[in-house]
Structure 1
């Protein structure tokens, strides 16, 4: 079944409208499916967010969007593509998604931060989509929880934008507010 959902765009959309668009997306209930592991998919998500199959990049964004809807992270940290009847392993070098665009409304405790993902989805940082910074060996890795144990790493540009906000507001420790929650920008 081809992917027919267009990517969510942040430009020109209020966060209330964005939340409505997010809520209208009907994602498969992969958290409810538990078929047996059937092997490996031959797929890999590179550190930069590029999806590969048998060593070749997947060039169709609609295919990546489709596969991203059936992706889940298992309790042991592995990633799988899951349907009601089969589960296939997929290698993920860093995080499953990349946050590539940001839109903010409000200031301080009243701020809400929306992030567009490379999969065409979006999240609003807050209680359900927590922002954290982890030490990843190559430096701090800012991440946001997406769904089913999956995370999106923020691009360096977005991380610097958040750092500018944090420094301008002078919180101690440095961090940002979004949707009523405070998120420190220091590695755990």
Structure 2
């Protein structure tokens, strides 16, 4: 098949997807997608809810479709990659939310940790889908998860923020590990990769690197890498 024919067939399939399952709904249901194609303002709230021109997009199938078309450029801007062109999307935090944790396999490097997002996507944490932890020293009250936020890459440039109970369950799989440079961190194994979550203070609470020694600065920091580590204990999955 020639490249030109392939592109034509792909565009036709996308047009069918846009005009097909949603064209059968009434105008109110079809409105958000139609507005997006005509330059409407799209936004994803902190809880993963979609809005178009300030109105909620309530159809799960449509939200899943839009989420599947979402893209992020190297500058960090989000947009829908539609056949008619790119449509900007404002994302308040992360475009997806991690609602459930799954644990498979034995403890240690062979363990596989996966999350289910609000769009029912299953993502397994590995070298291509790392964990990132952000610490806010101010403990912003606007953050329902407290002062520590955890993200997992769902696909290139797009992350899911873990709900607090999911992050708590992830933390129960953690172990302390001394890296090659001598520093000690706390993190989790998944698919033969180790992902630092931070450090433990005297009370056993997870804190930003340096806080346990009183050396943290005023700016937020993040942790996320791919290193070997010790074996974590068994623990229940979150649901």
Q: What TM-score range do you get, normalising by the shorter chain? A: 0.7 to 0.9
Change (3 A) 1:51 1:77: same
Change (3 A) 1:85 1:39: closer
- Structure 2 residue 148 is matched with structure 1 residue 140: yes
Structure number with bigger Rg: 2
Aligned to 2:158: 150
Change (3 A) 1:40 1:143: farther
TM-score, scaled relative to structure 2: 0.59
Change (3 A) 1:148 1:40: farther
Question: CA RMSD of the aligned region, Å?
Answer: 1.9
**How far did residue 141 of structure 1 move?**
1.5
- Structure 2 residue 171 is matched with structure 1 residue 163: yes
Query: Where does 1:122-137 land on structure 2 (aligned, <5 Å)?
Result: 122-135=122-135
List structure 1 runs of 4+ shifted beyond 4 angstroms: none
1:82-107 C-alpha deviation (Å, 9 max, x unpaired): 12330010110000101111110121
Contact persistence 1:39–1:89 (CA under 8 A): no
1:136-171 C-alpha deviation (Å, 9 max, x unpaired): 5632221111113111111111111111221xx444
Aligned to 1:177: 189
TM-score, scaled relative to structure 1: 0.74
**How far did residue 173 of structure 1 move?**
1.0
The unaligned stretches of length 5 or more in structure 1 are 4-37
Query: Where does 1:69-148 land on structure 2 (aligned, <5 Å)?
Result: 69-105=68-104, 106-135=106-135, 138=140, 139-148=147-156
Contact persistence 1:126–1:178 (CA under 8 A): yes
Change (3 A) 1:56 1:65: same
Give, in whole Å, the separation in 2 of the partners of 1:39 and 1:185.
42
**How far did residue 40 of structure 1 move?**
4.7
Contact persistence 2:101–2:170 (CA under 8 A): no
SS of equivalent to 2:123? strand
Query: Where does 1:23-62 land on structure 2 (aligned, <5 Å)?
Result: 40-62=39-61
**How far did residue 122 of structure 1 move?**
1.2
Aligned residue pair count: 152
Contact persistence 1:99–1:115 (CA under 8 A): yes
Change (3 A) 1:76 1:129: same
**How far did residue 39 of structure 1 move?**
8.1
Give, in whole Å, the separation in 2 of the partners of 1:48 and 1:143.
13
Which structure is richer in relative contact order (CA contacts within 8 A, separation 6 or more)?
A: 1
Give, in whole Å, the separation in 2 of the partners of 1:72 and 1:97.
12
Give, in whole Å, the separation in 1 of the partners of 2:163 and 2:169.
10
